[in-house]
Amino acid sequence: MAKIPTPEELSNISFQPPAKGWMDTKPEFKEGCYCNAASPKWLEWLDYPYPRNWSVRDEDWKLPANWKEILLEGFDERLGRFRTLKLFMDICVRCGACADKCQFFIGSGDPKNMPVLRAELMRSIYRRYFTTAGKVLGKLAGARPLTEDVIKEWYYYLYQCSECRRCSVFCPYGIDMADLTILGRELLSSIGLNIEWTMASVGSCYETVGHIGATPQAYKDMIDFFAEENERVTGVYTNVTYNRKGAEILFIVPSGDYFADPGTFNYMGYLLLFEYLGLDYTISTYAAEGGNFGYFMSHEMGKRLNAKFYEEAKRLGVKWILGGECGHMWRVCNQYMSTWNGPADFLEEPVSPITGTKFENAKNHKMVHISEFTADLIKHGKLKLDPSRNAHIKLTYHDSCNPSRAMGLFEEPRYIIRNVVPEGNFIEMPSNTIREKTFCCGSGSGFNGDEYLEMRFRGGFPRANAVRYVRDKYGVNHLACICAIDRAVFPPLLDYWVPGMDVIGVSEMVGNALVFPNEIERTTDLRDRPLVGCEEAEEEEGGEIE
């Protein structure tokens, strides 16, 4: 008789305690669970090392002949340059506080996604080549030799860390896995191992307007379209100027807000707010990408792309920079920009021209977050808002990892939300899933490639689970956020885990609620959805998008 596995055998085939230890267990690259290799074209554009055609599924990754030497020299050099790296390699006491805090571990059940073990992938190499105990005792001291399999393992797991920093909140020593991931990815990049999604975006941003490779003309065309759309919905045409020298403020957004829904509606919200205020601002077609995917592959590339901000601010002669709703852009701006490309002594300390508020927190890097700017306007009573226009939106708020954990932006978005939706329409998710403990969307740091869908859905499960709770218990129908990656990846993620949820930016709701003196009667929101009480009128007119 043919041998047929029993359900018990089937269930446990790959999942019994492995006969081999973690060091000897190789990752298996399955469809949907790895990021594609970067095409050589992008590396050539960027003058990055070892461009070549290779595939993750191939046995031979075509590493340069002296790859080991390059990598170890790079490791050594970074140990000297980054005190964090040296500390994080040495001080972990394996207390396990971080172990179950990573959403990729929680969602995938793969123990190598426990931050402590993910870091161990690098530590084992550090011990072997840079500590006496490791050199002498080898495996006994937790050391192992650097092999191609180790490199593949790094590639697999360092691209399962979304650099969200949730684990660092729980680590008693403050070990930041994101820092290790960034440096590990740099080392991989030094031997020509990069991912397509990131490299394509970086290459495009380096050569053109932003990540999607739009031309300045196409970018302008999109923004002009938003101005027309605003006029159609509200009766107010939102004037925009481009590359205007002498403007007071330079406004920079992530590209997700101008080419993909629902970010586009957020952009309409920004424009409405600025028109309402009569703000003296301009948009650049050069510094037109707030997002910085360079930061996902190396500090050097992050710095290179970020340089556009100050260069353009200087060229245009603006006083300060206002930034849109973006995630990691704000980690870059708050924690790196001043040292990478500063000092920005040609800019002034940001002051709101409407309220006179000095944004002292931005004294150094001269960049203000749109949520800080808007919350300040509301606090000073400068905006006439009609929350009933958002009555169809019952929402919860997702703290995007970087604005929350990298800049402590917790209150401002909530304050805005409370002022633009009717009382009782804003419901918080449970406390262990928000603010500094927020769960990642599962797609930060370059994971939104469609080839990576399944892994993303594992990482995003804890967040979706909390969203589901407020949907089921309170009838929440929208998830609000202040990050373009969130706006791009939550719709598919929630469609799988929590169907029936819409995703919305905070500025879009501001745009809905703003009352202009010269507006037409508003019957829809910015997405052409009927406002509460206007459903019938919409039906009579057919409610179609023209």
Partner 1 sequence: MNLIDFLREHEAAIVQRWCDLIFGTYAPETVQFLKKVKNRFDNPVAYQTNEGVKGLYKALIYDMETEQLSNYLDEVIRIRAIQDFSPAQAVAFIFLIKNVVREQLREHFKGEVRIDQFSQELFDFDCRIDGLALLGFNVYMNRREKLHKIRLEEVKNKVSGLLRRTGMSIDYH
Q: Considering Cα of 435, then 437, then 442, then 443, what sign does the dihedral take?
A: positive
Matching residue, tokens 């959805």: 529
How far is CA 246 from its chain centroid? 31
Query: Judged by CB, which is closer to partner 1: 154, or 226?
Result: 226
Angle CA(495)–CA(178)–CA(130) in degrees, nearest 5? 145
Two tokens at 525? 């929101």
- β-bridge partners, 191: none
Closest distance of CB 296 from partner 1, Å: 18
Query: Judged by CB, which is closer to partner 1: 21, or 475?
Result: 21
Say whether residue 137 binds partner 1 (CB under 8 A): no
How far is CA 247 from its chain centroid? 29
What mask of x and - would describe binding to partner 1 in positions 357 to 396, judged by CB under 8 A?
----------------------------------------
Query: Judged by CB, which is closer to partner 1: 319, or 389?
Result: 389
Closest distance of CB 407 from partner 1, Å: 24
Single residue of 79, 92, 97, 99 touching partner 1 by CB under 8 A: 99
Give the chain's largest Cα–Cα span.
Answer: 85
Burial string for 117-144 (b: 16+ CB within 10 Å, else e) reads bbbbbbbbbbbbbbbeebeeeeeebbbb
Q: Which stretch binds partner 1 (CB under 8 A): 103-111, 133-141, 153-161, 374-382?
A: 103-111
* Whole-number CA gyration radius for the chain: 24
Single residue of 342, 422, 491, 530 touching partner 1 by CB under 8 A: 491
Closest distance of CB 432 from partner 1, Å: 5
Say whether residue 304 binds partner 1 (CB under 8 A): no
* Residue 4: count of CB within 10 angstroms of its CB: 7
Number of residues that bind partner 1 (CB under 8 A): 55
Query: Judged by CB, which is closer to partner 1: 232, or 379?
Result: 232
* Cβ-contact 103, 442 below 8 angstroms: yes
The torsion defined by the Cα of 255, 259, 265 and 270, in degrees rounded to 10, comes to 40
C-alpha dist (Å) from residue 496 to 259, 464, 468, 484, 493: 23, 9, 11, 20, 5
Single residue of 38, 61, 107, 397 touching partner 1 by CB under 8 A: 107
Two tokens at 126? 């550090």
Say whether residue 430 binds partner 1 (CB under 8 A): yes
Spatial separation of the C-alpha atoms in residues 104 and 462, rounded to whole Å: 9
Say whether residue 221 binds partner 1 (CB under 8 A): yes
Single residue of 130, 259, 340, 516 touching partner 1 by CB under 8 A: 259
Residue 195 phi, psi dihedral angles, 5° rounding: -105, 150
Single residue of 82, 206, 225, 242 touching partner 1 by CB under 8 A: 225
Closest distance of CB 231 from partner 1, Å: 15
Q: Within 432-471, which residues bind partner 1 (CB under 8 A)? A: 432-433, 450, 453-454, 457-458, 461-462, 465-466, 469
Say whether residue 282 binds partner 1 (CB under 8 A): no
Q: By C-alpha distance, which of 339, 281, 265, 359 is closest to 313?
A: 281
What mask of x and - would describe binding to partner 1 in positions 148 to 187, judged by CB under 8 A?
----------------------------------------
Spatial separation of the C-alpha atoms in residues 386 and 302, rounded to whole Å: 40
- β-bridge partners, 234: none
Single residue of 139, 244, 379, 527 touching partner 1 by CB under 8 A: 527
Q: Which stretch binds partner 1 (CB under 8 A): 36-44, 150-158, 217-225, 325-333?
A: 217-225
Say whether residue 19 binds partner 1 (CB under 8 A): no
Spatial separation of the C-alpha atoms in residues 469 and 487, rounded to whole Å: 20
Q: Considering Cα of 265, then 266, then 268, then 272, what sign does the dihedral take?
A: positive
Closest distance of CB 215 from partner 1, Å: 12
Residue 426, SS3 per DSSP: strand
Say whether residue 541 binds partner 1 (CB under 8 A): no
Q: By C-alpha distance, which of 89, 74, 71 is closest to 177?
A: 89
Q: Within 112-131, which residues bind partner 1 (CB under 8 A)? A: 114
DSSP letter at 406 equals: I
Spatial separation of the C-alpha atoms in residues 418 and 375, rounded to whole Å: 10
Single residue of 2, 17, 47, 345 touching partner 1 by CB under 8 A: 17
Say whether residue 30 binds partner 1 (CB under 8 A): yes
Say whether residue 529 binds partner 1 (CB under 8 A): yes
Q: Exposed/middle/buried for 361, CB within 10 Å: 0-12, 13-18, 19+?
A: middle
Single residue of 82, 242, 497, 516 touching partner 1 by CB under 8 A: 497
Query: Judged by CB, which is closer to partner 1: 327, or 459?
Result: 459
Residues that bind partner 1 (CB under 8 A): 5, 7-8, 10-15, 17-18, 30, 33, 99-100, 105-111, 114, 221-222, 225, 258-264, 430, 432-433, 450, 453-454, 457-458, 461-462, 465-466, 469, 488, 491-492, 495-497, 527, 529, 545
